Every structure is written in C-alpha cells, then in structure tokens.
Structure 1
C-alpha cells in the first residue's frame, strides 16, 4: 500500500445518539471516537519512524492503531443507519457540506504549507486540481474523506428510500454522478488526451462491510462479557503484529487480522459506561475529533518527524514514538478545541 494510503481518521458526526429528540447520548461512541482519533495520530507518527529507519518501533505503533480507520467506517454506518439517520434530502446534503467545507479549507492549507516549507510540489498548481479528483501528497491523510463522503451519500440515500421519505432527488443525482465519474473521467482522458487524475471518490466493499456490520454491533450495545472481547483484541493485535512483520506492511484494512482486531475493539467498547464526571469533557473531545484529524498531520510533521530522524536505535525509539505521538495528539485536540470555542468549527472542522 502506498504512503498516500495509511491512516486517518476521526470524522464528523452529530453528537452520538442524538439523532432524535430525547435519545440518550451514546458516550461509549464518544469514547470510541476519541480513542480512534488518537490511534490515527499514532499510526501517522509510526509512519515517520518507519521512514526514519525505526522499522520495529514503527510497525508496533502502526499495528496498535490500525483498527481506527475500519472503526470509523463502523461508526459512520451506525450514525447513518441507527444513531442519527437522515430525515430528508436537504439534511443529507447539509451533512455532506459539513465535511466538504473543512476538507477544502484544510486541503488548501496543506498545499500552502507544502509550498512554503516542504519540498517542491510535484506539479505545482496542478496539485490543487488533483485534489478535486483524489487526495494529494501534501494532505495524504485526507484520502479517507474521499471514501467517507460517498459512503455517507450511499447510506443516506438508502435510508431515505427504505423509509419511504420524500424522493431524495438531489442526493440521488449526486450518487449517480459519483458512481459514473470513474469511467467518465477515463473516457474523457482517452478522447481528449487531457492528463486527468484518477477519480478516487469511491467506497470499497470492505469499507461498506465495516459500516454495516459495525453498525449492527454498535447498535446492539454490549454482546457478551467484556473481558472476552479484550482478550480477543489482544490475540488479534498479536496476530496483526506477526502479519505485518512477516507478510505485508502496511496491512490492508480488509485483511483478516485488521478485521478481527477492529471488531474485537468495537465489541469491547460498545456499551461501556462512562462516569458522569468525565462525560462533559469526553463530549467536547468527541466533538473536536474531526478537527483533530484534519490538523494533526501538521504536528506530526513539525514534532514527530524531527525526533524520528535524530533518535538513536534501540529502546529510545519506541519511547520517543510514544511520547511524540501523545504530544501530537494532545496538541491537535487542543487546537481543535480552541477554534471550536472561537466559532470556527464550521470551516476548520
């Protein structure tokens, strides 16, 4: 898997479990969202250590956080199908706008950062055009949103059709456009000779499977004793570490080892009781998770990367990874909380 497709993401969502008036907030979903957001930062920090030659530390860190992306697909499915299903065409389009607006802003910010501080852009201004078709290297972590948006669109239209709401005309037209765009862009490239980038606004079958199966697991709450789920997660993590050292790194999100770890984590987290004194802070962190995901790559580049390049091999490397990943996650959450208080979440996530 290329460097442009490691991890991401925490993602935008309405407050857990508040799709309908009077429904109790799912603080276990909030907790899972915050944990997965921190795991995203860990995976990208681990990638910096691998690039710097610390393969063992990097693979261990990557394995520990690799469940996060499939878990976010599961939470997206739960929100779309059970937690907060859309009630009309306009609401679905509004939700998509809450993702696309910050996505566009941060793509521009990362392109500007790359232009000012990074190595020369491959193609210069053409990178901005490529961002309309798929993720660009300057903001490679945003690749997830190119799958997340079509997933929400597909599930939202399905919910409206199955619940026999008013015909979702605009959402359906948008879904059809996204569906035919890959072949259309290839045909336009063939006929005109224009160097159009590959179309990457798409969702894989494995991602759809995580969304639907994960939704079923999260909607049901806890199933079985939590110690068994935790034991299963430990076994799955061990298997994933062995797999990544001996078979393939990074492991595909659709691999058996990643799937086993993901569903074990979901089972362990579903229905967990969060103490009342921690709920207010947890809710704020959960609401800030999308912004944290969007900004964290900056802190990984300015904080984790230099440390990874200078730390010696041996026991210092995993310790440096743990410390810098924690610091990058904390700073990212703090930044997101700050612009949330300033009323900028609409634009910055």
Structure 2
C-alpha cells in the first residue's frame, strides 16, 4: 500500500495535467511525500531524536510495472496472436520464482526478472479472456473487493499459517496444505472485504 497509493496519485496527477487541469492539492500531497524522508532526516540531525522510517514511495520498477501493465491491457485484439509460448513460459517463471524463494532468498524482490516475466505472461493471457455477460456483475464485485482482500489477507495468514506450517512437513503434505491454505485465506479475505462494503464502511477505510 505504501507503494500503490503514491503511484496511483502520481499517475492521476499526470493524467490531470495532460487534460489541462490544475490539481494543486494532489501536487502538494505528492510534494509532501517526496520531501518527507529528508524532512525527518533533518529533524533527527537537528534534535538528535530518532524519527519513524518512511515507507511511502515507489521505485522505478513499480512505475514501469504500472505503465507497462496498462500498455499490455490496451493492446488491440489479435496483437498477440501466438499464445503457446506464453503457456510454456509461465510455468517456467513460476518454477524459477519457487526455486529462488526456497534456495536463494526469501522474500523474492518484486523487481526480479522472474516476477516481471511472470507478470507479462499473466497479463497477456488474461487480457483477452471474454467474460460471459451474466458473470460480469460478480466479477466486478470481486474486483471491487480485491484491494480490501489484499489489505486483510495478512491477518489470516498470521493466524492460520503460523500454527500449521512446519519445516518437518513432507512434500505431499506441504503441497496439500499450501493449496488448502490459499483457498481458505482467499475465501476469508474476500468475504471480509465484501462484508465491509455491504456494511457501507468503505468510506471509513477502503
């Protein structure tokens, strides 16, 4: 969220400027986020008191992912006529990510090549899926709840994964447990987010 919100603000600011608007408030908020780290550093240097670290902001890879993803979604139908290589590349990138996370370093950086390649494969594969008209309302409702589900899923991970996962588990048991936990955490997260919206609490938080 510390990356997502400033990034959306910046892209919105750029679009408003392009449209001839003058979003002074949004610009001031972005300027505040930009100078906040140096302000807190100066306060620490002057007063000698430690200040809280600032996590708000994004790296180059975040901006590239956002703009690049929008570009891929905007490709005209038929621009990617051959999908077979994508079906082959996607599991390879997933295997590479699993290998890196378990053998090299956990958690894998979002800017890693495996993540970038996997993201491109997924976006190109799903961007041309035709959703039946009768299923679109449900899909839109789940899409609206996705951000809230993302925000609360960590709570369920802490409560469910920590007591159940152990390095002593066998491969088959670990695989089955992983599949089950993914399903349960997703169901609980989306249910919580949908309930939050049903109670009209999104104006309060999300």
TM-score (structure 1 length as normaliser) = 0.54
2:100 aligned residue (226, 238, 243): 243
User: CA separation in 2, counterparts of 1:242 and 1:313?
Assistant: 17
| Residue 344 (structure 1) aligned with residue 201 (structure 2) | yes
Aligned to 1:312: 169
Q: 2:190 aligns with which of 330, 333, 343?
A: 333
In the alignment, the residues of structure 1 paired with residue 103 and residue 154 of structure 2 have an alpha-carbon distance, to the nearest angstrom, of 28
Partner residue of 2:10? 154
User: Counterparts of 1:218 and 1:205 in 2: how far apart (Å)?
Assistant: 20
Deviation per residue, 1:155-194 (Å, 9 max, x gap)? 11111222222x1111111111111111111111111112
Partner of 1:287: 144
Question: Which has the higher relative contact order, 1 or 2, with Cα contacts under 8 A spaced 6 or more apart?
Answer: 1
Q: 1:321: which partner in 2?
A: 178
* Corresponding residue number in structure 2 for 1:217: 72
1:221 shift after superposition: 4.8
Q: Distance in 1 between matches of 2:162 and 2:182?
A: 10
Q: Say if 1:339 and 1:345, in contact at 8 Å, map to a contact too.
A: yes
- Structure 2, unmatched stretches of 5+, are none
RMSD, aligned α-carbons: 2.0
Partner of 1:203: 58
- How far did 1:230 drift? 2.3
1:183 to 38, 42, 52: 38
Unaligned ranges ≥5, structure 1: 1-144
Q: State the Cα distance separating 1:201 from its structure 2 match.
A: 1.0
Q: 1:230 to 1:347 in 2, by over 3 A?
A: farther
Q: How many residues align?
A: 204
Structure 2 vs 1, CA of residues 311 and 330 (structure 1 numbering), >3 Å: closer, same or farther?
farther
Deviation at 1:296, TM superposition (A): 1.7
Q: CA 1:245 to 1:312, structure 2 compared with 1: closer, same or farther past 3 Å?
A: closer
Q: How far off is 1:152 after superposition?
A: 1.4
> Which of residues 90, 104, 129 is equivalent to 1:272?
129
The 1:247/1:266 distance shift into structure 2, 3 A limit, reads same
Separation in 2 of the partners of 1:156 and 1:337? 26
Q: Does 1:298 align with 2:174?
A: no
Q: Could you tell me how far apart the structure 2 residues matched to 1:263 and 1:324 are?
A: 26
Return the offset for 1:205: 0.6
Q: 1:158 to 1:284 in 2, by over 3 A?
A: same
What's the TM-score once normalised by structure 2's chain length?
0.89
